[in-house]
Structure 1
Amino acid sequence: MLSKRLDKISPSCTIGISSKVKEMKKSGVDVINLSIGEPDFNVPREAIECGIKSLNENCTKYDLVPGITILREEICKKLLLENNCKYSIDEIVLASGAKDAITNTLLAVTDPGDEILIPKPYWVSYWEMTKLVNATPVAIETNKNNDFKLTADLLRKYITDKTKLLILNNPSNPTGSVYTKEELSEIVNVCLEKNIYILADEIYERICYNNEFVSVASLGNNVKDITITVNGFAKSAAMTGLRLGYTASNKKIAQGMSSIQGHLVSHPSLTAQYIGYGALKYCKEDIDNMVKTYKKRRDLITSRLNKMKYVDYIYPNGAFYVFIDLSQVAKKYKYNKSFSIEFCDEFLSKYKVAIVPGQAFGIDEYVRISYACSENEFIEGLNRLEEFILKIMDNCN
């Protein structure tokens, strides 16, 4: 009697692992959690004060569907100053998290049967979200030698007359790869030529270590017109549980998303919106300090990986993940269906460390580690990973 839609989708792997870790900790098991993409910082104090002030002033009634005016104005300022993208407030739609913003986008621009191009490795929910709106996900096989980044030539090979939209995640989850302006320009030129929308998921854009982040929509007014930029507050301002994201797009798409959201959600929590406003207006220094910490951790975790045998990795220039190549280990490890899932399950069970199997991102011989946690935790986690790998390889020699 349930919807056939449920037969098409799989539960979120990362949320599943997180739930399992919480259950283990509740049972008294000491677990190192390197799986979740959640900052270990708190929401900046000045941002919280804006939320408290809104509650004290009884800002708790229904408001505008696309979001409160002062927050959309602040987002427009941020996009202009930081991303060189000029938007008006009627082109901004606030959503209950970046996930909700992506879903609104897919509902607004796709029809059943449309093909959505998703470069591998991809964030776990893109694939399932596409199926939920009855569109067809098409995986693009990218190359490790290019840090798994999409190229214009590769993109052309996957375009058909059913292609409607390309999802481009920059910086990437899970690889941490960051596109250059030249790389993006070549990709968007193909999309312009073929009349394909671009969903530019830029949720990690503030966490970029080479100071070269380029927003897709900044590459020209014609590019901006076909681009739906998705961003939010979870990663940059540690507002994961407050569920606040947004889109920037042309007015027609924004109106469509607002209409959809008006029926499904109305608008995101007002308290979250006022906190987000405070984060943008008053907390740039707090955000910059978080990024400095992530960069320090990136340097520490990669230096440790460089000393480990049988592993390789994609050097992350953004976000707070390392995508680790365990293909040498996979050749020796005895598994039934999925190397990465069974490897991660055994690692969690025997070594009490949670990491994410690469299968969740479409590539089975990899695992993802998050360093949005204390240095002691991820270094101890890597020590245990090395011990597990050496045991596997020694048993095979």
Structure 2
Amino acid sequence: MNRLSLRVSQLTPSATMSVDAKTKSLLQAGQPVINMSVGEPDFDTPTAASLAGIRAIANGKTRYTAAAGTPELRQAIAKKLQTENHLTYTPEQIVVSNGAKHTLFNIFLAILNPGDEVIVPTPYWVSYPEQIRLAGGIPVFVKTDESSGFKMTPQQLQAALNEKTKAVLLNSPCNPTGSVYSRNELALLGEILENHTAWIVSDEIYEKLVYNVAFTSFAEACPQLIDRTLLVNGFSKAFAMTGWRLGYLAAPPDLAKAVASLQSHGTGSPSTMSQAAGVAALQSLDTTMIQAFHARRDCLVKGLNQISGLSCLNPEGAFYVFPNVSAVFGKRYENRIIETAVDYAELLLEKQLVAAVPGEAFGAPNNIRLSYAVSMQDVEEAVRRIAAFHNMLN
């Protein structure tokens, strides 16, 4: 008898975590690796948020909260959504979870039955397909590429929709591509979805990290669909709070109630002191981090596009670039032929100590993902090393 369930036996390990583990092993061995594989801001949590968490501990606020989160944080999130996104939610429509990843997992468990389909544009964040499958659903991939700015078109959405479609997943700004849907682009997708019953799962975790463009929430662009929109956001990216594990859902009342009930039987409430930090974080966004990411992005994109064999779109958000490396497929590095992005990433790490994630992990086998959540010095050195790597190809 198999000791493990089919659901976990069929899981694909996270490629980003795998690359990060190899990178950290090299770092522990004293190798000067530039780790551009993991999406984690290299800034500290805002001081006000950290102090709020410390005060919560010092004042004995270390007990369980309501499964959906503290009234204070849910109210603060509702206020944020009203003020910044012009969306009206009551605190009862907010469910706070242990990170946006947990929020997404809750959603798929709450809405999917076996065989239900979820439309997922590619490239996609690595955990989307696995979470959908764990919940019994079937991811249906819609391929995008550089020609569309890595964005799903209304025509593609229309062609993918059918009677089995239970949800459509949107991620803007996007991990791994950095693409950002404009208000008009979202509205056009919304026009297609008006004639269907599917949920819209809108992952907006990189909302604050946009450059020279305006961010628009899906529900703001398509208010007629707010009763089918499941808005996902959190604190990890904009507030450099990855380890605090704090995300949230804004949803119609019935779905929010169902997710809160589900969470009560799974993890219970999120960390009490993290929630206290979250309230303070919403009042203390520091644009210094965003400005630094903007400058790093410009430096990295310019440098990569000057390297023969690379082409890289200029991302409008998040903190990743997603260069196309397929022009070097078939070329040789010493005695090894580069046939895939996996080969490219493995050799780049081995020979030049730059850690990247191969695009296969995101459903885009011609690309690699590089995170610029590293210092400007590391960005500049990474460009130099990648150029040196390409100079060795023949």
Shorter-chain TM-score category?
A: over 0.9
2:307–2:390: 8 Å Cα contact kept in structure 1? no
The amino acid of 1:199's aligned partner reads V
TM-score for both structures, normalised by structure 1: 0.95
Q: Mean alpha-carbon deviation: is it higher for 209-218 or for 100-109?
A: 209-218
Structure 1 residues 93-102 or 78-87, which shifts more?
78-87
CA distance in 2, matches of 1:336, 1:135: 38
Pairwise mapping of residues 290-329 of structure 1 onto structure 2 (< 5 A)? Answer: 290-329=289-328
SS of equivalent to 2:215: coil
Contact preservation (8 Å) 2:190, 2:222: no
1:176 is matched with 178
Cα deviation 1:104-143 (Å, max 9, x = unaligned): 0101111111001100100111011111111101110123
Letter of the 2:321 partner, please give it. Answer: V
Structure-1 separation of matches of 2:282 and 2:6: 42
What one-letter code is carried by the residue in structure 1 that aligns with 2:113? D
The Cα shift of 1:192 comes to: 2.1
Moved more, 194-203 or 214-223: 214-223
Tell me what 1:231 maps to. Answer: 233
Give the aligned partner of residue 27 of structure 1. Answer: 29
SS in 1 for 2:231: strand
Q: Which has the higher helix share?
A: 1
- Partner SS for 1:164: strand
- Secondary structure of the corresponding residue to residue 364 of structure 1: coil
Structure 2 matches for 1:325-364, cutoff 5 A? 325-332=324-331, 339-364=340-365
- Gap change, CA 1:253 and 1:337, over 3 Å in 2: farther
2:121 maps to 1:119: yes
| Structure 1 unpaired stretches of 5+ | none
Residues 326 and 341, structure 2, Cα contact 8 Å, conserved in 1:
no
Q: Select 2:202's aligned residue among 200, 224, 237.
A: 200
Question: Sequence identity, in percent?
Answer: 38
The residue matched to 2:322 in structure 1 has which SS?
A: strand
**How far is 1:258 from its partner?**
0.3
Structure 1 segments (4+ residues) deviating >6 Å: 334-338
Letter in 2 for 1:43: T
Do 1:8 and 1:131's aligned partners in 2 also have CA atoms closer than 8 Å?
Answer: no
- Contact conserved, 2:330 with 2:337, CA < 8 A, in 1? no
The residue number in structure 1 matching 2:268 is: 266
Match of 2:16 in 1: 14
For the 8 Å contact 1:320–1:370, the answer to whether it is kept is: yes
Q: Which amino acid aligns with 1:360?
A: A
- Alignment match, 2:189: 187
1:290-344 superposed Cα distances (whole Å, 9 cap, x missing partner): 1111111111112212322121112111001000011211243587896111211
- Provide the rounded CA distance (Å) in 1 between the counterparts of 2:214 and 2:332: 39
Number of residues of Structure 1 aligned to a counterpart in Structure 2: 390
Distance 1:59 1:324 in 2: 46
Moved more, 270-279 or 381-390: 381-390
SS across alignment from 1:82: helix
Tell me the alpha carbon deviations over residues 65-102 of structure 1, each in whole angstroms, 9 at most, x when there is no partner. Answer: 11011111111111111111111000000010111000
Contact 1:356 1:367 in 2 (8 A): yes
Classify 1:8/1:338 alpha carbon distance in 2 versus 1 (closer, same or farther; 3 Å). farther
User: Does the Cα contact within 8 Å between 2:330 and 2:339 map onto a contact in 1?
Assistant: no
Cα distance in structure 2, aligned partners of 1:336 and 1:165? 41
Contact 2:69 2:96 in 1 (8 A): yes
Equivalence for 1:84: 86
Could you tell me which runs of 5 or more consecutive residues in structure 2 were left unpaired when the two chains were aligned: none
Q: Is the 8 A contact 1:200 1:227 kept in 2?
A: yes
**What displacement does 1:57 show?**
1.1
Within a 5 Å distance, the mapping from 1:45-124 to structure 2 comes to 45-124=47-126
Any conservation in 2 of the 1:176–1:314 contact (CA below 8 Å)? Answer: no
C-alpha offsets along residues 6-35 of structure 1, whole Å, 9 cap, x if unaligned? 232101000111111112211222211011
8 Å CA contact 2:340–2:365 kept in 1: the answer is: yes
Q: Does 1:43 align with 2:45?
A: yes
Tell me by how many angstroms 1:390 deviates: 2.4
- TM-score between both structures, scaled by the size of structure 2: 0.96
Quick one: distance in 1 between partners of 2:315 and 2:57?
40
**Which residue of 264, 272, 275 maps to 2:277?**
275
Q: Tell me the distance in 2 between the aligned counterparts of 1:297 and 1:186.
A: 32
Aligned to 1:377: 378
Paired with 1:338 and 1:188, the residues of 2 have a C-alpha distance of 39
CA distance in 1, matches of 2:157, 2:228: 16
Instruction: Please list, as runs of the form range in 1=range in 2, the aligned pairs for 1:120-159 lying within 5 A after superposition.
Output: 120-159=122-161
The secondary structure found in structure 1 opposite 2:121 is strand
